[in-house]
Amino acid sequence: MRYQRQIQFAGLGEEGQAKLGRARVVQAGCGGLGSTLAQCMVRAGVGKLTIIDQDTADITNLHRQFLFDEADVRKKARKAVAAAEKLKNADSGVEVVGIATELSSSNADRLLSGHDLVLDGTDNMETRYIINDWCVKNNIPWIYGGVVGATGVTMVVLPGKGPCLRCLHPETETDESAASVEALGIINTVPAFIALLQATEAMKLLINSPDLILDLRITDLWSGDYQRISVKQDPQCLCCGG
């Protein structure tokens, strides 16, 4: 009866829960976004979750990465491995695999293959382009998420059925723009909020819900501003166009 309250929700039901139990999900990154994403996926009852992250826990992570604590920092725990160990205790029926490595174009096929959905828990555009291009090539859906300051964005990418990340951002961000992210900082509610939106769409996608939201959503939690934008597929996109 672990999932009783979730099954009682009309949008999911027993059939939806059964679909979640057969789903294989992989997420790249287990930081601010990823630590919340991973908890949501495991506690929702997906069949398998693979977590890819090469980083170790750092004291500056703890205000927003809710899976980790000071003990992880002291022992320089690998985030992917530590997350997998903790999440197995949250739901022993879910297969959780932690892979302490960096996702790259050379290992993407090996690490991402065999999954039904890819989740973006990363903090850089370079890795997101790797995810995007691999998913479009292999016709696997993925869910983009990004956060900085008090602002977050998310969008579901369905290859062959809508725009990809390169339709939205044709060129990668420069080193200068990436450096400004550190300067702007981040409040701990933003990655949690965006990860919850990602996780909700992930559940909808995995159970084939007609309520799946494909629009780009932009939220500023500090000001309360919210935008929902329909992104069109670019026929000249270097990844999904033509």
What pLDDT, on the 0 to 100 scale, is given for residue 171?
77
What pLDDT, on the 0 to 100 scale, is given for residue 30?
97
236 is a domain residue: no
**Distance (Å, whole) CA 34 – CA 94:** 17
Average pLDDT, the chain: 94
State yes or no: pLDDT of 71 exceeds 80: yes
CA 136 to chain CA centroid, Å, is 16
**Distance (Å, whole) CA 134 – CA 45:** 26
242 is a domain residue: no
Q: What percent of the chain has pLDDT over 70?
A: 96
* Orientation angle between helical segments 32-44 and 79-90, nearest 10 degrees: 30
CATH number of 92's domain = 3.40.50.720
Instruction: Please report, in angstroms and rounded to a whole number, the separation of the first and last CA atoms in the chain.
Output: 48
CA 47 to chain CA centroid, Å, is 17
Per residue in 162-218, pLDDT (tens digit) is: 999 999 998 765 544 454 557 789 999 999 999 999 999 999 999 999 999 999 999
**Contact indicator for 221, 187 with CB cutoff of 8 Å:** yes
143 is a domain residue: yes
Quote the number of domains for the chain. 1
204 is a domain residue: yes
Pairing of strands 48-52, 225-229: unpaired
Range of the structural domain that residue 44 is part of? 4-229
Residue 84 φ/ψ, nearest 5 degrees: -60, -45
57 is a domain residue: yes
156 is a domain residue: yes
239 is a domain residue: no
